[in-house]
Amino acid sequence: MFAPARRHCLHNASHKTIASPIIVSPRVSSSRPFSSTPQCHSKIGGAPLSIPPEVSFSVIPPTKPKRGRMASGELKATVAIKGPLGELSLQIPPYVEIEQSEARAVLRIQDHKIRQQREMWGTTRAYLQNYILGVSEGHTAILRLVGVGYRATIESTATTVSAEYPDQQFVNLKVGYSHPIELGVPKGVKASVPQPTRILLEGVDKEVVMQFAAEIREWRKPEPYKGKGIFVNDETIRLKSKKVK
C-alpha cells in the first residue's frame, strides 16, 4: 500500500523527518481585499504546490451559519486532498487564498506586512504539501531499538490496554522493563517489524505517524553514556564519558 515510501525509507533509513507544528488559526475581525502591493515572498509559502495526476485537490468554500452568529472573518475554507492511499482535509485561515490550475496550486495571503499571516502562509503550505505526498506515496518512520535484549513485535491483542477501534494492532516493546510495554497503533497507521530491533511505521498523515513514533521513543529515550535507547530515523547521540571520582 505504501510501497513508494517504504522503498525510499528502507533504502535510506537516515532520511530526516520533522513533525509539523499544530496549526492555530488566528481570528480576523474584518475581511479585507487581497493585497496588490509588491509581495514580501515567503520561501515556503510562495512556492507552488505540485499536484500529481492521481491526486484530487479541491477547495471547498466555507458554509455560512444560518443565524449569522459567526463573523465573516472567521469562516474557513476546507481543502480536500484525495489520492490512491487515502483522503485528508485541512481548514485554512480566512486570510489565505489558493489559486489552482490543473497540476499546481499557489497560496497567497491578504497582508504581507502582518507577521502572523506570513508565518501561517508557510505553515499552511507545508501541511498541504505533506498531505499531497501522504495520499500519493505515504509517510514513514523507522525506529531503531539499541540495547541488549531490546526487541519489538506487532500483536493483534493486548493485555494492558484496550482496543480503540476494530482490528487494532499493538506494538509490544521489550526494552529492559520487568513487563512488556503495549501501545495501540493509531487509526490510519500501519506498523510492521522488518527486524526484531526495527519498527516501521507507515501512514498518510505525517503528523500522526511522527507523533506515534515519539510516543514509542518516550519509553526508552536515547541515553548518552552507553548509547542505548529508541532512535527515530536519523537520530544520533553523542556519547559522554563517565566521571571517575
Nearest to 131 by CA among 188, 96, 82: 82
Q: Yes or no: is domain 139-232 CATH 3.30.300.30?
A: no
Give the pLDDT score at 72: 53
Q: What is the mean pLDDT of residues 171-193?
A: 96
pLDDT for residue 65 is more than 50: yes
Half-sphere exposure of 134 (CA within 13 A, CB side): 27
Q: How many CB atoms lie within 10 A of CB 130?
A: 19
Q: What is the number of helices (H) and of strands (E) in the chain?
A: 3, 13
Which CATH architecture best describes the domain 3-17+44-64+72-136? Alpha-Beta Complex (3.90)
Predicted confidence at residue 69, as pLDDT, reads 58
Give residues with Cβ within 8 angstroms of 96, minimum separation 6. 107, 108, 109, 120, 121, 124
Integer Cα distance of 90 and 107 in angstroms: 14
- Grouping H, G, I as helix, E, B as strand and the rest as coil, residue 124 is helix
Using the CB atoms, write b or e for 197-227: b if 16+ within 10 Å: ebbbbbbbbbbbbbebbeebbeebebeeeee
Residue range(s) occupied by CATH 3.90.930.12 in the chain: 3-17+44-64+72-136, 139-232
Q: Note the pLDDT of residue 74.
A: 72
Share of the chain above pLDDT 90, in %: 65
